[in-house]
A and B are shown apart, each in its own frame.
Chain A
Amino acid sequence: DGGITQSPKYLFRKEGQNVTLSCEQNLNHDAMYWYRQDPGQGLRLIYYSQIVNDFQKGDIAEGYSVSREKKESFPLTVTSAQKNPTAFYLCASSPGVRGTEAFFGQGTRLTVV
């Protein structure tokens, strides 16, 4: 089945540690995105990538980093510089054609302990 796979579903991190969230898609989509979801705030864009080896900052990129070495993979690293990392993280992809909808993974819940 085509889709977007995020792993792990739950992740715990100690303060001061970096952690990487995985996102893989087999939809052959050009564009991929990372969103952060907090209660009552909707989804906020962290980073996005329109093509392999290229990515841009979204609205809340501080404390996060990404890479796009393969078309199907777009991992997100939450660094120790992110002051409030506890949240639900959603990865999405789209074909890249203007106006098409995004398809979402099942999310990763990150908790700082």
Chain B
Amino acid sequence: AQSVTQPDIHITVSEGASLELRCNYSYGATPYLFWYVQSPGQGLQLLLKYFSGDTLVQGIKGFEAEFKRSQSSFNLRKPSVHWSDAAEYFCAGLTTDSWGKLQFGAGTQVVVTP
């Protein structure tokens, strides 16, 4: 079955440290992939997206993600986290025949400590 998996439910990181959030996908063909961020009680904001081409994608707020076909992964990274990066992060996938029906991972909660 087509799916997106986020193996880490919760990550704690120190302010100024690097962050990497994992996302694995299971699709027959290369999907469109997205990372969204959600602050408590709010909607989702798009951080970045991958459709094709360069496998390293730059997004907003200093985030980037790398698409690795061999590992079926689309991990999100930030070199130096800020306290404002504390939020829940969702990876989502979309196949070429699924017309906008995003499939979401379960999310990773990021806590930033001083």
Contact = CB atoms under 8 A, between A and B. Distances in A.
Interface in A32-46: 33, 35, 40-45
B107 A42 contact: yes
A52 to B, nearest CB: 16
Interface in A59-113: 88, 90, 92, 94, 96, 98-107, 109
Nearest to B98: A98
A81 B92 CA distance: 29
* Size category, B interface: 20 to 34
Residue of A40, A48, A99 with most chain B CB atoms under a 10 A cut-off:
A99
Interface residues of A, number: 30
Contacts of A103: 46
Given A40-B9, A42-B90, A101-B34, A33 B100 contact: yes
Nearest to B45: A104
A contact face: mostly helix, strand, loop, or mixed? strand
30 contacts: A4-B43, A31-B99, A33-B100, A40-B106, A41-B106, A42-B104, A42-B105, A42-B106, A43-B90, A43-B104, A45-B101, A48-B101, A58-B101, A92-B44, A94-B100, A96-B99, A96-B100, A99-B32, A99-B51, A100-B100, A101-B46, A101-B49, A102-B100, A102-B102, A104-B36, A105-B43, A106-B42, A106-B43, A107-B41, A107-B43
Given A33-B101, A42-B106, A98-B99, 20 more contacts: A4-B43, A6-B43, A33-B100, A40-B9, A40-B106, A41-B106, A42-B105, A43-B102, A43-B104, A44-B104, A48-B100, A50-B99, A90-B44, A92-B44, A98-B100, A99-B96, A100-B100, A103-B46, A104-B44, A106-B42
